[in-house]
Amino acid sequence: MNIYLTFDYELFFGSNTGTVQKCLIEPTNQFLEMADKYGVKAVFFVDIGYLSRLQELQNDHPALKKDYNLVAEHLNEIKSKGHDLQLHIHPHWEDAKFENGKWQLKVEGRYKLSDFPKDKAAEIIEKYANLLNSVRGSIADTFRAGGWCIQPFDHIREALFQAGVRKDSSVFPGAHFEAGEYSFDFRKAPDKDEYRFNSDVCVEEPGDFKEFPISSKRYSPWFYWRLYILGRLNPTDHKMLGDGNFIPQPGRKKSVLSGFTWNHLSCDGYYASVLDSTLVHMERSGRKNMVIIGHPKSFTRYSLKKMDEFLRLNHEKHQFVTFSEQNENH
């Protein structure tokens, strides 16, 4: 099986974004040590709008100049180890302000590319893609929408195509969420390892783009009750390494605690507990791709331990691949 380990390399977007050191560098470096030990490669979907804003404001704020250098050097280190850097866009960085030592983010009406007029969204995509390509030294051809909010795809289709994007990994079949700034509905997406599409990510048809869906599964409410209880009983192991907070997700906690829900396969926190059992199930189902999502900011001591076990057990049985490698081999 091809296993894609994918990480959204980003800060938090709530009232406290957290720090570069705690949300990005330290947790990512713990994974990089693990990856070196087992010889596996991963995909980092870089929230490049953050680096762009650091670049724009660094001369006005010494703290941001330091952060810019830290992130730029870190991305070069990740790349030098053979990991894949791909395009991740949270467009609210466009007008983010840095005041009194803190980021002031306006996410209302700025969180999704579809919140912007089509020509402005295209301008953002072009700018961010060019910056990431300069870091990579080549064209990034795979996209993941911030907050999975890729719909309506037709709003950004042409701009992504012009930027050289031909692959996407934003969809996780079966899931939907409409609350606060979030808006996605993948209930009609093909439940396949990969498929082609054109103007709608949920419609398989001949087109310019190929979807590599994030693996998804049906979680019981008991899973989430255990998640929340363990976080309170053993905060040392289950506390996120990142030092920020999420934007609100109205109604999310109530819905997952009261009924079965579809969600992505993740290596964040307690979600990492189901990696092995899900891999076994996917093998028995004849799947050929397993796409795992994670966020360095959301790693915990527990999830890093489970990831280490997962890599140790599977690095010789399966292929850990990246989207750049997938492009070279096809």
Give the CATH number for residue 144: 3.20.20.370
- Overall number of domains in the chain: 1
What's the confidence (pLDDT) of residue 330? Answer: 45
Least confident of 25-39, 243-257, 290-304, 307-321: 243-257
pLDDT at 328 over 70: no
Provide the pLDDT confidence category of residue 251 given band limits of 50, 70 and 90.
Answer: confident
pLDDT per residue over 295-309, tens digit each? 999 999 999 999 999
Q: How far apart are CA 169 and CA 148, in angstroms?
A: 9
- Averaged over 183-205, what is the pLDDT? 97
Sign of CA dihedral 53, 58, 62, 65: positive
d(CA 155, CA 32): 36
Mean pLDDT of 140-165: 98
The mean pLDDT value for 61-87 works out to 98
C-alpha span between 23 and 47 (Å, rounded):
13
Please state the pTM of the whole predicted model. Answer: 0.97
DSSP H helical ranges for the chain: 20, 26-38, 48-57, 62-80, 118-136, 157-162, 221-233, 235-238, 252-258, 275-284, 301-314, 323-329
Q: Which CA distances in Å does 47 have to 128, 150, 318? A: 9, 15, 28
The residue ranking higher by pLDDT, 231 or 27, is 27
Rounded to an integer, the average pLDDT of 162-184 is: 95
Q: Decide: 293 and 8 in contact? Cβ < 8 Å.
A: yes
DSSP characters for 203-249?
Answer: S--S-SEEE-PPPEEEEPHHHHHHHHHHHHH-HHHHS-SS-S-PPP-
State residue 327's pLDDT score: 55
Domain that holds residue 24: 2-329
